[in-house]
A and B are shown apart, each in its own frame.
Chain A
Amino acid sequence: MSNSPKLNPLYRLQFEKAQNCYVLLYPEGMVKLSDSASEVLTLVDGSTSDGDIVKALQQKFPDAADLIEADVKEFLVDALEKGWIKYDR
């Protein structure tokens, strides 16, 4: 099993100017994403591993580096459960 998450093809991630945030669009629905959720999901591309996502965000937010690993892992578990992301087997 790959440890690089990819976006479930049922969902589309896009920035919405009018709402000034990223949203996940799916059949007849929309999830407005928080800033931290957007930071993670914009790095989800099917080839970047969980670990590399953590590293990238630690570099981007050095002040919060200690907290990022747990936060990202928790978010990815949650996102997998919600069906937003998938891991190829």
Chain B
Amino acid sequence: MIDENKDNLSGEANSTKHDVGPPLWLLAELTYECPLHCPYCSNPMNMEGKELEIDTQKWLEVLSQAREMGAVQLGFSGGEPLLRKDLEVLVKHAKELGFYTNLITSGIGLTERRIANLKEAGLDHIQLSFQAANAEANDLIGNKRHSFEQKRKVAKLVKQYDYPMVLNFCITAQNIEQIDDVMDLSTELNADFVELATVQYYGWAYENRDHLLPTNSQLVLAEEYVNKFRDQQNGQGPKFIFVTPDYYETRPKACMNGWGSTFLTVTPDGTCLPCHSAKILPLEFPNVKDKSIHDIWHKDFSFNHFRGYDWMPSPCRDCDEKEKDFGGCRCQAFMLTGDMHKTDPVCDKSPDHHLITDVINKAGEEPSVALKYRVLTKDKINIKELNE
């Protein structure tokens, strides 16, 4: 969310490689470890554990370098960032540098002592995820018992300690029909903002797409409920943000506001990406262990590769909307067509658009493969060994 106040004419242009603005948004994925196993997770299918994570000192340097370049929004994410014991140290440093700090958490492990310490360290905001509006569904989706109960407690603490609270519900076929309950729960918990984010299909969510993709009629109905709920709010209570899945659009999203224009993700092992799912692409991505953030952002081949418009194929190249959506999402093009340079198949001008319509026409049918819960690669191997 980056808005321009309307009479400001000096906004950053994303148009040419020579005119690259700063990475305003830094997403620090501190760890892939997570107590939950949500099948809609956008993390990659192959995730290493603690052993490959960069250390505290390296993270402190990353934050300083990015801030020096003009980064201002900082998300601590993962996995579950609370599993890093140095989180408070990183928050404190970020605060001193002038970042706006966001903790993006499942809430599992967020004790009162930790929430107080994070406040003291200067944490600005907590975004808490829920998987559903009741214990049974919530705990089943995250595959973790008693997590709903813990999340409710955390939500109370977040408000008690005077943080702005954003609740995030990933909406899928598994919970979309309970969207009314989700809005009631959010109101009861006194959230400031609520993201009703219909899942985008990356990482684990892509693997589990047939289980997660809602039907068109489920979506239409959900949006009607949200609009009705908003009308009855009279300007009171949480602000609900309903994010429609791009599969049901005919134009692609302006993914990451344009490749290498605004967003920089640093993964647990120090790899830098122009978006959190780009690791799947056949590009070699730089690591903070080898290069400065400045050189990564401005000079690295991977970051420059999809900047501007020269890389675009037809129909994007000649399209009058290319400056609006930048040809859509590179990861989606790669996942669906095998070629990361193609037009995002979400666009109905794309010759590959049938890849999307085929999938949405099948939404609601019984999936042919079992649901896969998110696990680290080492745990996958353990499971396999047990089975053999």
Residues of A within 8 A of B (CB): 9-10, 12, 14, 16-21, 23, 25-34, 36-37
Contact = CB atoms under 8 A, between A and B. Distances in A.
User: 8 nearest interchain CB pairs?
Assistant: A18-B70, A29-B1, A25-B100, A34-B8, A27-B125, A34-B7, A31-B3, A33-B5
Nearest to A41: B5
Contacts of A18: 22, 69-70, 72
Interface of B: 1-8, 10-12, 22, 24, 69-70, 72-73, 75, 98, 100, 102, 124-125, 127, 162, 164, 166, 192-193
Given A25-B72, A28-B127, A33-B5, A10 B10 contact: no
Contact of A17 (B8, B70, B127): B70
B8 A27 contact: no
Contact of A30 (B3, B124, B192): B3
Nearest to B98: A14
A25 B164 CA distance: 12
A75 B326 CA distance: 33
A34 B72 contact: no
Contact of B3 (A20, A21, A29): A29
Nearest to B165: A27
Contacts of B24: 30
Given A23-B72, A27-B193, 18 more contacts: A9-B164, A10-B164, A12-B124, A16-B72, A18-B69, A21-B8, A21-B10, A27-B124, A27-B192, A28-B73, A28-B125, A28-B127, A30-B1, A30-B2, A30-B24, A31-B2, A32-B8, A37-B5
Contacts of B12: 19
Interface of B is mostly: loop
Contact of B70 (A16, A33, A36, A37): A16
A12 B123 CA distance: 13
A15 B221 CA distance: 43
B70 to A, nearest CB: 3
A12 B164 contact: no
B8 A33 contact: yes
A58 to B, nearest CB: 20
A31 B125 CA distance: 17
Contacts of A31: 2-5
Residue among B22, B98, B127 with the highest chain A CB neighbour number at 10 A: B98
Contacts of A17: 70
B75 A28 contact: yes
A16 B73 CA distance: 12
Contacts of B164: 9-10, 26-27
30 contacts: A9-B164, A10-B164, A10-B192, A12-B100, A12-B124, A14-B98, A17-B70, A18-B70, A19-B12, A19-B70, A21-B8, A21-B10, A25-B72, A25-B124, A27-B127, A27-B164, A27-B192, A27-B193, A28-B1, A28-B75, A28-B102, A28-B166, A29-B1, A29-B3, A30-B1, A30-B2, A30-B3, A31-B3, A31-B5, A32-B3
